[in-house]
Structure 1
Amino acid sequence: MDLPTAWNLDNKSTNLNVDSSGLRVNYENEVDIIDEGKDTCITIGFCKKSFNLNGRMPGWDDDSWGYGGYSGNFYCCFVIGSPYGPSFSTGDTIGCCLNFKNNTVFYTKNGVNIGIAFRNLKGTLYPCVGLHSHGDSIEVNFGSRKFKYAVNT
């Protein structure tokens, strides 16, 4: 199985800009703010190829799963999440580990395992991150640098 090394530039939301490294993503869109919120919402997850990348956050629709930074909830094909882990924001590092041997997924926050979020996953899955607000920015590590979480094998 080939693991990703960068974001696929041909398969992304039209609102996102991926830098030349293929690792840094910026949400770039002009938005009229009617009622300014106090927070942002980044969701880290994965999806099947059929997921609408110009739709809602990962986990809010079929064929997608995600861990929401603002709420700490996990989302599984439905907009209402379930309590999962701590919230996360600027400065945090979130890991997403898909275990293809036992079809489970767990997340890490700053190198600490939060626990299993999803079980019984099947099919081909792709990394997916949802950025909600203008100016949101993330950088991914698909393994080119050492991970903060030390995987025990």
Structure 2
Amino acid sequence: MLKRLCAVLCVLAMTGCASIVNETTHPIKVETLTDQGKTVSGADCRLTNDYGTTTSKSGDTTQVRRSSKDLDITCKHPDNPDAMARAISRANAGLAGNIIFGGGIGAIIDHNKGTAYTYPTWVRLVFGKTLVFDRSNEKEGQPVDGAEPATKP
């Protein structure tokens, strides 16, 4: 009984508002590939969400501002057509902890600040394509597979 109580208390202590658990920024590694799968480093990339724009070179990891809105990414290279992507923002464990244990106030604050959300941490854009990357498909230590957006009938 005491072990269960300690386990529950430990879980409660580790949960909490995403503002405390997560930073306001999130790392994302952006790589670029040709349509044949060859890596192209050094492309100029712009990562944009409702909090602003960050620039980076492909192959680098950069910090982006967390947000509940998706992240648009465009990479340009003089020898290739533009590579474009959308990284889907998904709620993280901090938001779930708020809802379950902390009540609505913390969840509202973290939602409004964006700290309750996370983007994929590693994406590979393909020149000449537009891809969508969803964090829910992320596997530790691997790039998230991009999918072409569905076309409207």
Q: Flag whether TM exceeds 0.5 (same fold).
A: no
Bigger helix share: 2
**When the two structures are superposed, what TM-score results if normalisation uses the length of structure 2?**
0.25
**When the two structures are superposed, what TM-score results if normalisation uses the length of structure 1?**
0.25
Structure with larger Rg: 2
